[in-house]
């Protein structure tokens, strides 16, 4: 049994999160997303609404550092509660939130390292997480310069300058 009972217990999802490298994509999608046949599919769907996309994103958020979060540009207007949820969840994480046309979200399934299917019936309930890194341990050595982009992420994540 894992030491932290609040960490991801699903073995395949835990493995996927641990397998992510910088810039890899992990998708969390609703029940209707057309997952490519050759994708690493982690199917958590049990019944309608179980689990919810939000629940899965919250669990992943505790274990994965996102650099970029991508979702459909229809969400802010057509599903403002989900938009607020995403903005609140990733506020202060150092992640850039980006909206793109819905059709582009579908294209991300082809390049995702893993696609996590939920039981969610949520309009535009598909999210792409681009894996990032924590700049603190990567740039804490002596005589190592931190690039400006990482400095900005550090300040957003830690609320202070490196």
Q: What's the total number of domains in the chain? A: 1
DSSP state letter for 50: B
ω into residue 51 within 30 of 0, thus cis? yes
Tell me if 19 sits within 8 A of 113, measured CB to CB: yes
Is pLDDT of 1 > 70?
A: no
- Residue 5, domain member (yes or no): no
- Residue 58, domain member (yes or no): yes
- Residue 2, domain member (yes or no): no
Q: Is 25 a catalytic residue?
A: no
Q: What was the pLDDT predicted at 33?
A: 96
- Residue 78, domain member (yes or no): yes
**Residues, the chain, total?**
162
Average pLDDT rounded to a whole number, residues 44-62:
97
- Residue 104, domain member (yes or no): yes
DSSP-derived secondary structure for 89-118: HHTTTTPEEEEE-HHHHHHHHHH-SEEEE-
Domain assignment of residue 48, given as a range: 11-131
Q: What was the pLDDT predicted at 47?
A: 97
- Residue 159, domain member (yes or no): no
Higher pLDDT residue, 162 or 3?
A: 162
Could you say which of 15, 22, 102, 108 is catalytic?
A: 22
Higher pLDDT residue, 136 or 101?
A: 101
- Residue 105, domain member (yes or no): yes
Q: What was the pLDDT predicted at 135?
A: 86
Distance, CA of 99 to CA of 112 (rounded, Å)? 17
Residue 28, phi then psi, degrees to nearest 5: -120, 120
This model's pTM is above 0.85:
yes
Q: Which of the four pLDDT bands, split at 50, 70 and 90, describes residue 143?
A: confident
- Residue 101, domain member (yes or no): yes
Closest by alpha carbon to 64, among 114, 122, 17? 17
Q: Which of the four pLDDT bands, split at 50, 70 and 90, describes residue 94?
A: confident
Q: What angle do CA 86, 59, 27 make, to 5 degrees?
A: 65
Specify the CATH number for the domain of residue 107: 3.40.1650.10
Q: What was the pLDDT predicted at 15?
A: 96
> Does residue 55 sit in helix, strand or coil?
helix
Average pLDDT rounded to a whole number, residues 89-98:
92
Q: What angle do CA 86, 26, 89 make, to 5 degrees?
A: 20
């Amino acid at each position: 049994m894992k030491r932290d009972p609040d960490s991801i217990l699903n073995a395949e999802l835990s493995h996927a999160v641990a397998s992510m490298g910088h810039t890899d994509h992990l998708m969390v999608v609703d029940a209707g997303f057309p997952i490519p046949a050759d994708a690493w599919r982690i199917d958590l769907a049990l019944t309608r609404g179980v689990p919810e996309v939000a629940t899965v994103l919250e669990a992943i958020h505790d274990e994965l550092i996102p650099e970029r979060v991508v979702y459909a540009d229809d969400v802010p207007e057509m599903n403002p509660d989900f938009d607020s949820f995403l903005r609140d969840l990733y506020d202060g994480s150092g992640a850039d939130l980006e909206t793109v046309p819905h059709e582009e979200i579908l294209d991300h399934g082809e390049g995702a390292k893993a696609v996590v299917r939920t039981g969610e019936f949520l309009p535009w309930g598909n999210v792409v997480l681009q894996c990032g890194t924590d700049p603190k341990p990567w740039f804490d050595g002596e005589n190592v310069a931190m690039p400006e982009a990482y400095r900005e992420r550090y300040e957003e994540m830690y609320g202070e300058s490196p």
